[in-house]
């Protein structure tokens, strides 16, 4: 259906995991995290979704932000902000895991 993102991209990611590459998954070079990627579902229309994610310590995909690349000129500014936001969210996630680990050891 035109304009509707390809939900099968999530299924392909679930099946292939870390091995999935372009065109469905692309690397993000400006992230603080080497393992930051973006899901690039096909849309065939006016929507071009990008979804930055990482595979966390449990080797599960953690989606952090999403945006519509077809939204026009603001994309050039959205992308750097989205990477910064995704990095911040993932950092907070890792810190919360570390805190839980410390609290679990104190019992």
Number of domains in the chain: 1
Compute how many other C-beta atoms are within 10 angstroms of the C-beta atom of residue 12.
15
Rounded mean pLDDT of 55-81? 85
Domain range for 49: 8-105
pLDDT above 60: residue 4: no
Give the ranges where 7-59 is alpha helix by DSSP (H).
8-16
* pLDDT, mean of residues 14-37: 91
Tell me which of 25-29, 30-34, 43-47 is least confident: 43-47
Q: Does 23 sit behind a cis peptide bond, omega within 30 degrees of 0 on the bond before it?
A: yes
| pLDDT band at residue 47 under the 50/70/90 scheme | low
Measure Cα distances from 74 to 2, 3, 97 in Å: 23, 19, 34
Looking at the domain assignment, is residue 81 inside a domain?
yes
Q: pLDDT grade, residue 49 (50/70/90)?
A: confident
Residue 92 falls inside a structural domain: yes
């Amino acid at each position: 259906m035109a304009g509707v993102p390809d939900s099968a991209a999530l299924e392909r990611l679930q099946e292939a995991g870390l091995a999935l590459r372009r065109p469905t998954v692309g690397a993000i070079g400006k992230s603080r995290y080497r393992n930051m990627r973006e899901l690039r579902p096909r849309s065939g229309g006016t929507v071009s979704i990008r979804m930055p994610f990482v595979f966390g310590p449990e080797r599960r995909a953690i989606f952090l932000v999403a945006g519509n690349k077809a939204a026009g000129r603001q994309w050039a500014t959205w992308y750097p902000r989205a990477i910064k936001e995704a990095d911040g969210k993932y950092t907070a996630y890792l810190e919360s895991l570390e805190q839980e680990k410390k609290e679990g050891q104190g019992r």
